[in-house]
């Protein structure tokens, strides 16, 4: 039985949603194609009607997850507060794919790394538009803030001490907030 183009597009969307959640929750190596297809309610054999390989699925799932940018409709301060919250920390499957999959993506194809590069570039561009300060300073602040947010989330997720985990999130947000009120220093000269 042949399926319509609309059904094919809906199935592909469902596969990408399921794969991106499973990959964020458990990592690329711990999730197989058969598991993704079963969780999407589709047969394993139908996978190849959508993707040529698991590597292609990884690239497309990363691009899909990064394109969602959950919370980007919030004001920047609210977005940062939500990102650096215990709720985001605990929601690996639905959370930021960069903080959830950066280390795993290092071992993936150049195409997967390119998808993360484009997602990161879009995030920095968006934050650069929202961050306060002189134009010349905004991109630097956006990069520094985003780097601190992702790093803090990774650290808060990996440790087993709940109090220290929450402290990392809280203190990173406070550090970002403190920096919003002062001008950045001149960039260091490359040696």
Give the pair of three-digit tokens for residue 31: 């999730």
Residue 184 in domain: no
Quick one: pLDDT at residue 3?
81
- Answer for the pair 99, 150: CB distance below 8 angstroms, yes or no: yes
pLDDT, average across residues 71-96: 93
Q: How far is CA 185 from CA 81, 136, 182, 188, in A?
A: 25, 11, 9, 9
Split into its structural domains, the chain has a count of 1
pLDDT, average across residues 57-61: 98
Residue 189 in domain: no
Would the pLDDT of 184 be above 90? no
Residue 16 in domain: yes
Question: Number of helices (H) and strands (E), helices first, in the chain?
Answer: 9, 0
pLDDT, average across residues 129-150: 93
In this prediction, residue 189 has a pLDDT band, given cuts at 50, 70 and 90, of: very low
pLDDT, average across residues 89-103: 95
In this prediction, residue 75 has a pLDDT band, given cuts at 50, 70 and 90, of: very high
Quick one: pLDDT at residue 133?
85
Residue 186 in domain: no
Q: Whole domain around residue 103: which residue ranges?
A: 5-179
pLDDT tens column, 152-163: 999 999 999 999
pLDDT tens column, 41-56: 999 999 999 999 999 9
Residue 187 in domain: no
Outline where 2-53 has alpha helix (H): 5-26, 33-39
In this prediction, residue 70 has a pLDDT band, given cuts at 50, 70 and 90, of: low
CATH number, domain with residue 66: 1.10.357.10
Quick one: pLDDT at residue 62?
97
Give the pair of three-digit tokens for residue 132: 């306060």
Query: Half-sphere exposure of 59 toward its Cβ, with a 13 Å CA cutoff?
Result: 14
Give the range among 28-32, 44-48, 66-70, 108-112 with minimum mean pLDDT: 66-70
Quick one: pLDDT at residue 146?
97
Q: What is the pTM of this model?
A: 0.87
Residue 188 in domain: no
End-to-end CA distance of the chain: 65
């Amino acid at each position: 039985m042949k399926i319509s183009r609309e059904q094919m597009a809906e199935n592909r969307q469902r596969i990408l949603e399921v794969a991106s959640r499973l990959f964020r929750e458990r990592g690329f190596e711990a999730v197989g194609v058969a598991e993704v297809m079963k969780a999407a309610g589709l047969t394993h054999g139908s996978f190849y009607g959508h993707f040529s390989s698991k590597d292609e699925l990884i690239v497309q799932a990363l691009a899909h997850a990064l394109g969602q940018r959950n919370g980007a409709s919030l004001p920047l301060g609210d977005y940062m507060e939500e990102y650096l919250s215990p709720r985001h920390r605990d929601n690996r499957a639905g959370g930021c794919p960069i903080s959830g999959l950066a280390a795993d993506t290092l071992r993936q194809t150049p195409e997967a790394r390119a998808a993360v590069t484009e997602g990161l570039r879009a995030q920095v561009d968006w934050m650069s538009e929202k961050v306060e300060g002189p134009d010349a300073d905004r991109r630097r602040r956006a990069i520094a803030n985003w780097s601190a947010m992702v790093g803090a989330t990774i650290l808060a997720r990996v440790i087993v001490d709940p109090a220290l985990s929450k402290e990392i999130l809280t203190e990173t947000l406070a550090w970002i907030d403190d920096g919003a009120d002062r001008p950045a220093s001149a960039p260091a000269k490359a040696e």
